[in-house]
Structure 1
Amino acid sequence: MTPAERKHLAVDLRSVCMRISRRVRFSRAGQDTLRPHQVSVLSKLDKQVRTPRELAEIECVSAPSMTRTVNALVEQGFVRRDADPEDGRQVHLQLTPEGRKTLSAIRRSRDEWVYSRMVDLSEEECAVLRQAADILERVVAPQ
């Protein structure tokens, strides 16, 4: 493949990945109460307690913007704030049981959307997608 063909492939991959991401983000579960950036924050708290500063850095947003997002999630009962036992000025954020349940429902809905688009694919096409998923994992892995 020539460098020009690789660049064209990169554009095509970026475009299709963005379209899939957009469609999946706006699936039905949680859309009445949560916006995509809020779901993203919930997912960052799924396996790890984090500070608002850590979340702002991960999400590439300002501290005030993250504060608004966190406040909304706390008000809705999806996130809990806990004071750091060693530094009372520091706040730790974690999912509440309701936040965990909601995140799980959103993920299930998103997975179902993707699955619904795959049901008519052939075995061979599914095998290609399996390979593509493995390759894309390598593409997005930290270097």
Structure 2
Amino acid sequence: MAFNHRKTITFRLAQTARAARGRSGSHLTRMGLHPGQDSVLKTLSEQDGLSMSQLAQSLAVQPPTVTKMVSRLAAQGYVERRASAGDGRQAHVYLTEQGRDAILGIDKGWKRLEKEALAGLDDKDVKRLRKLLRQIERNLSAIAEDDEDDVIDEPEAAAEAEAQPDVAEKPEVVA
């Protein structure tokens, strides 16, 4: 029987992430933002004046990605880049008044998305789900990118091997 990837937790996670990105993207588009820009603005609202490399690290993305996002946000008037006082070659990113004003809309969108996503779940379910998702995230983050071991096939292969009669063994005869 063929492996049905649609029944895996990771497939469900990917589908859920796609749906959440779609809903979030609709809200951001109405605000004039692109997906991912909300994370830049929220990060700066928590710690304004980060360097580009600090921002990239905080967002867990590559520096060129941050450069592109910050350039767009600056062109839209949400952020501004200023040269570092200590090192003029290094730029720090700051929210503008427009950027600070956008935070309320971003927060509203995230709250609405959370409410929509968790409809029908009680507080106990939400707490358990959050804990399980954190564990899955830790598991996946800990695995090296070049590790190609197929963790899913190992238990299935063992189960299939147990289900198959061993040719070397003689069947037990019952009289």
Is TM (by shorter chain) over 0.5?
yes
| Equivalent residue, structure 1, for 2:105 | 105
1:34 maps to 33
Cα-to-partner distance string for 1:42-89 (whole Å, 9 max, x where unaligned): 2332322322344456453463x5434322212322112222111011
5+ residue gaps, structure 1? none
1:22 and 2:21 correspond: yes
**Equivalent residue pairs, number:** 133
AA paired with 2:95?
L
Larger gyration radius, structure 1 or structure 2: 2
TM-score (norm 2): 0.59
Match of 1:136 in 2: 133
Q: Hey, what's the Cα distance between the residues in 1 that align with 2:116 and 2:12?
A: 22
Q: Distance in 1 between matches of 2:37 and 2:92?
A: 17
AA of the residue aligned to 1:99: G
Residues 32-71 of structure 1: pairs in structure 2 closer than 5 A: 32-48=31-47, 49-56=49-56, 58=59, 60-61=61-62, 63=64, 66-71=66-71
For residues 87 and 20 of structure 1, the distance between their equivalents in structure 2, rounded to whole angstroms, comes to 43
CA drift of 1:96 comes to: 2.1
Structure 2's unaligned 5+ residue stretches are 143-175
User: Residue 9 of structure 2 aligns with which residue?
Assistant: 9
Kept in 2, the 8 Å contact 1:46–1:100? The answer is yes
Alignment partners' CA distance in 1, 2:117 and 2:88: 49
Q: Displacement, 1:90? A: 0.9
Aligned-partner residue type, residue 61 of structure 2: C
Higher relative contact order (CA 8 A, sep 6+): 1
Instruction: Give the distance between the partners of 1:44 and 1:12, measured in 2 at CA.
Output: 28
**TM-aligned CA deviation for residue 106 of structure 1:** 1.6
Structure 1 moving runs of 4+ over 6 Å: none
How many angstroms does 1:113 deviate by?
3.4
